[in-house]
């Protein structure tokens, strides 16, 4: 799942004053583009696995091997990272990502990868909307109107009531909703815990929950299955690392728009791995969502500059 979608906060170390800081901005953008490529690679492999293995087992692989690689990398430094300034919020945030992964992986097992990824692009718009009651942020009428237009784009993709409507397409939309809440909690934790602590809890909670669920559907993989499952966890871990590096190199306001490159990778992988190409309505809907998201980003960027 493209869990580095635009709008993910919490790891940025920059401010509005250095929005376009030369080399740092280019490095942050490069990390974000790599993040999106890795996230969608993970999604493509997860969809491929779901054709032969139960989806809960694919979710298990995504988190268990993610945590295993992270633990191997941290070694003795793992335990100190578990100290959290807000343990309940850390667990709640991790639970939200597990639910998001569950919705999304079940969704991509039944619908095109590009369709699911396009619907996930609604998450940053939902963050804007949810920031009003949850973060007490002020959102002007222009941004609210842009959010509404983005929802229209989602309806264009879903086409409810039409002959091509798929109920399974509602799963990625549900994933976008829970992912928006996940991003909100990430923002809340950004002033409490380090990105590394948050990263460890993400993998740990997911590994524990998925391990409890997988025993009911376990199907012993063959050698290729094991390799791809390990790759899913590996891409999940490395993509999270790249996301952190992106936000450390440049402010979120600089790198956020480049998260929309995920739709390009999803279209490419859908074609290469499954022979799927999105139809015209999906492309139109995705374009509407991206345009809405970029406009919201533009208005937020201007607001930040005005507050300097």
Task: Find the mean pLDDT for residues 132-144.
Answer: 83
pLDDT for position 200? 93
Q: Quick check: is 230 in a domain?
A: yes
Whether residue 95 is contained in a domain is answered as yes
The DSSP code for 44 is H
CA distance 243 to 41: 15
Dump pLDDT digits (tens) for 55-77. Answer: 999 999 999 999 999 999 898 88
**Is residue 4 assigned to a domain?**
no
Tell me, what's the pLDDT at 161?
63
Please indicate, yes or no, if residue 152 is contained in any of the structural domains.
Answer: yes
Q: Does residue 2 form part of some domain? A: no
Please tell me the least confidently modeled range out of 81-95, 136-150, 166-180: 136-150
Domain extent, residue 174, equals: 16-306
> Is there a domain that residue 163 lies in?
yes
Q: Where are the alpha helices (DSSP H) in the chain?
A: 23-50, 55-74, 78-81, 87-108, 113-120, 123-135, 141-158, 170-189, 195-214, 223-249, 252-255, 262-274, 280-306
The chain-wide mean pLDDT, for the chain, equals 86
- Whether the pLDDT of residue 153 is over 60: the answer is yes
Q: What is the pLDDT of residue 183?
A: 85
- The answer to whether residues 122 and 7 touch, using CB atoms and an 8 Å cutoff, is no
Q: Is residue 208 part of a domain?
A: yes
Q: Are 31 and 242 in contact (CB under 8 A)?
A: yes
Beta strands in 143-202 (DSSP E): none
Identify the band that residue 140 occupies on the pLDDT scale cut at 50, 70 and 90. Answer: confident
When mean pLDDT is compared over 170-184, 187-201, 220-234, the highest value belongs to 220-234
pLDDT of residue 88: 95
Please give the model's pTM, rounded to 2 decimal places: 0.87
Is residue 1 a part of any domain in this protein?
no
Over range 33-46, report the average pLDDT. 95
Domain count, the chain: 1
CA-CA distance, 125 to 127, in Å (whole number)?
Answer: 5
Q: Which residue has the tokens 């996930």?
A: 120
Q: Where are the alpha helices (DSSP H) in 20-86?
A: 23-50, 55-74, 78-81
Residue 6: pLDDT over 80:
no
């Amino acid at each position: 799942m493209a869990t580095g979608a635009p709008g993910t906060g919490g790891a940025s170390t920059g401010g509005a004053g250095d929005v376009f800081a030369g080399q740092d901005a280019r490095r942050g953008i490069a990390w974000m583009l790599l993040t999106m490529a890795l996230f969608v690679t993970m999604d493509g492999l997860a969809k491929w696995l779901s054709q032969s293995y139960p989806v809960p087992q694919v979710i298990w692989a995504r988190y268990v091997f993610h945590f295993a690689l992270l633990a191997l990398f941290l070694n003795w430094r793992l335990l100190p990272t578990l100290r959290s300034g807000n343990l309940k919020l850390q667990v709640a945030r991790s639970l939200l990502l597990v639910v998001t992964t569950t919705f999304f992986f079940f969704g991509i097992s039944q619908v095109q990868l590009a369709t699911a990824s396009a619907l996930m692009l609604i998450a940053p718009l939902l963050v804007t909307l949810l920031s009003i009651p949850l973060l007490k942020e002020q959102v002007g009428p222009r941004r609210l109107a842009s959010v509404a237009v983005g929802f229209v784009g989602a309806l264009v993709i879903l086409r409810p009531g039409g002959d091509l409507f798929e109920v399974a397409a509602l799963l990625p939309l549900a994933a976008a909703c829970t992912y928006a809440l996940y991003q909100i909690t990430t923002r809340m934790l950004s002033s409490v815990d380090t990105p590394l602590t948050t990263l460890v809890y993400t993998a740990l909670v997911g590994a524990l929950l998925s391990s409890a669920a997988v025993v009911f559907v376990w199907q012993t993989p063959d050698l290729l299955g094991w390799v791809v499952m390990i790759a899913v966890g590996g891409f999940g871990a490395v993509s999270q690392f790249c996301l952190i590096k992106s936000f450390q190199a440049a402010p979120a306001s600089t790198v956020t728009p480049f998260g929309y490159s995920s739709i390009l990778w999803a279209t490419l992988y859908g074609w290469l791995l499954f022979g799927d190409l999105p139809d015209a309505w999906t492309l139109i809907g995705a374009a509407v969502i991206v345009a809405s998201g970029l406009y919201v980003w533009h208005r937020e960027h201007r607001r930040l500059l005005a507050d300097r």
